[in-house]
Structure 1
Amino acid sequence: MTPPRFGPRVVVVGDVAVDVLVEPCSPAVAGADVPARIRTRAGGAGANTAAWLAHLGADVTLVARVGDDPAGRAATDDLRAAGVRPALAVDPELPTCTVVVLLADGDRTMLSDRGAAARLAPADLPSVEAADHLHLSGYVLLGPASRAAGRAALARARAAGLSTSVDPQVAPALGAGFTDDVRGVDLLLPNAAELAALGGAEALRGVVGAVAATDGPAPARWTDRDGTRTAQPPPIEVVDPTGAGDAFDAGVLVAWLTGAGPAAALEAGCAARAAAVGRLGARPG
């Protein structure tokens, strides 16, 4: 049973995934058998953000699509254990999203098979009228088959009077079409590479209400019509950067939705990011 929450009521629309974490014991060599430490963790950008939101006190519902498989069935229990209310559609054909994460030297490379998540549809979206805010993972907008669901989620949220936010997620896939899709969003949450792909914060003035951008160990920046504010992340030894941006999103959102100003919201996002990268896996412990 999901425990009661008294913070902001947030609907997250995004992916649920199984993360396969691979740490090679030595550099990979083509054609060789390289020893590695391999573990699985619950993941998915949308699910990670939802788990961090719940960890920070929000009342969270996650909307996603999973496969009719053990991973999909386990996702419901994992989310409930994290304090998240699952609203999961089940795809009868495609498997639950799986991401292989290669970890080396404090960085990560991801190999993704979105599976059932790629077929999230407008019909999978529940009512949002009882919520305060809708957060959308950019993967939904960037997938050709799921884009309609992402656009519908934002439209329904606006019609119901909710505030909205989007994390772009994938810098190489961003372009003019994505900018059109997020026009009117209250808060965009890119990392530095995604922000550059979108033309920078100044190019987004008049497109979104504000931009809160994370940049690893460099200062995070909030840009809106009143100017730019910054926050310096705390020093931290990076164990696993997977989910860092998802945690940053959650920290910023909970602070902002409970009345914090831009600088304080950035500080909360940086603190959540630091907690995420200091441990293995993309969700709270």
Structure 2
Amino acid sequence: MTAQPDILCIGAMLWDVIGRAPRRMAAGADVPGRIRHIPGGVALNVAVALARWGLKPAVLSAVGCDPEGEALAREAERLGVMTGWLARATDLPTDCYMAVEDSEGLIAAIADAHSLEAAGDKILLPLDSDLAGWRAPVVLDGNLTEQLLAQVAKDPRLAHADLRVVPASPGKAERLEPLIAARRGCFYLNRLEAEILAGHACPDAASAAQAVVRRGAARVLVTDGPNAVAEAIANGPTLIFTPPKVTVARVTGAGDCFLAAHLAAELNNQPREAALKQAVEASSAHVSGKDVP
């Protein structure tokens, strides 16, 4: 394989099954709506969004050799994502994520990433061959096991990589502790995830981002739904940006869109303020049902 990617996205690549109702739902509700079956997983979502910004991302993940895996790999390539370095497991099914959303946002979700977890560090084998000496950005998602994230934090193959880290969900936020302890990476969190890592409640995104920086992270970006977004850095000023008001058409993937837009801006040498603005506007457009750019 001669073509080289600009960015590696390491983590979940799976099928999303998203059910959405156009009205508010109560627990146990059974209502009409729409169900979509689309490519997903944090790593793949970010990669697809990066491809829309004109970049050449590759995904390092585990995908089954079943029909679902074959179809997923084809669709990812069609969307501009390089898949030639995937770990293809003959004895494991392709992973899946299922979510239910209503007009107010996410109701509940289940992520079945057991095949990714079972593959373990096999997904990193390309770093010994085609992708050896990697120095460009790497997006890490919290669907990786805590053991593998701890390995990545100290892995000499990624010692010079620009790590961009996202938990995938509040329930997996604590998996990022090894990276904070190693003082590696720029973290993209929602307020609940930041509170988990900070160890206490925070009134807003700015205080949450600052709290995680005090824990040892060098740089933290925190979103808070429709409320102000913040970026905190060690020994520097905290930035705050308020998202535009939009009608909610979807919520799954908004954080991935935010990360991709922010990283694309920084790779285009935009300053902190402009990069944060681009990220907020892109995620808001995604929530409203649009694709940016």
TM-score normalised to structure 1 length = 0.84
SS of the aligned residue for 1:47 comes to helix
What is the Cα deviation at residue 24 of structure 1?
4.8
C-alpha separation in 1, matches of 2:266 and 2:157? 18
What is the Cα deviation at residue 47 of structure 1?
0.4
Relative distance call for 1:131 and 1:159 in structure 2 (3 A) is: closer
| Matched residue, 2:209 | 201
**1:26-175 superposed matches below 5 A:** 27=25, 35-86=32-83, 87-108=85-106, 109-125=108-124, 126-127=126-127, 128=131, 129-140=133-144, 143=145, 147-156=146-155, 159-175=158-174
What is the Cα deviation at residue 151 of structure 1?
3.4
| Matched residue, 1:181 | 179
C-alpha separation in 2, matches of 1:94 and 1:84? 22
What residue ranges of structure 1 are gaps of 5+ in the alignment?
none
| Matched residue, 2:220 | 211
Asked if the contact 1:134–1:157 (Cα under 8 Å) also holds between the matched residues in 2, the reply is no
C-alpha separation in 2, matches of 1:163 and 1:33? 45
What residue ranges of structure 2 are gaps of 5+ in the alignment?
199-207
C-alpha separation in 1, matches of 2:65 and 2:26? 34
C-alpha separation in 2, matches of 1:29 and 1:189? 30
Once the two structures are superposed, what CA deviation does each residue of 1:143-179 show, in whole Å capped at 9, x if it has no partner?
3xxx34333444347755221110122223433x632
Once the two structures are superposed, what CA deviation does each residue of 1:186-209 show, in whole Å capped at 9, x if it has no partner?
311101111111113333336222
SS of the aligned residue for 2:229 comes to strand
C-alpha separation in 2, matches of 1:83 and 1:194? 30
C-alpha separation in 1, matches of 2:191 and 2:165? 15
Find 1:279's aligned residue among 276, 289, 293.
289
Find 1:14's aligned residue among 8, 11, 15.
11
Once the two structures are superposed, what CA deviation does each residue of 1:198-226 show, in whole Å capped at 9, x if it has no partner?
11333333622211111221121110121
SS of the aligned residue for 1:83 comes to coil
Between the aligned residues of both structures, percent identity stands at 26
Asked if the contact 1:166–1:185 (Cα under 8 Å) also holds between the matched residues in 2, the reply is no
Determine which structure has greater relative contact order: mean sequence separation of CA pairs < 8 Å that are 6+ residues apart, divided by chain length. Answer: 1
Once the two structures are superposed, what CA deviation does each residue of 1:127-156 show, in whole Å capped at 9, x if it has no partner?
24245111100121xx3xxx3433344434
Asked if the contact 2:189–2:222 (Cα under 8 Å) also holds between the matched residues in 1, the reply is yes
What is the Cα deviation at residue 14 of structure 1?
1.1
SS of the aligned residue for 2:37 comes to strand
Relative distance call for 1:157 and 1:195 in structure 2 (3 A) is: farther
Equivalent residues, number: 273
Task: Report the aligned-residue RMSD.
Answer: 2.8
TM-score normalised to structure 2 length = 0.82
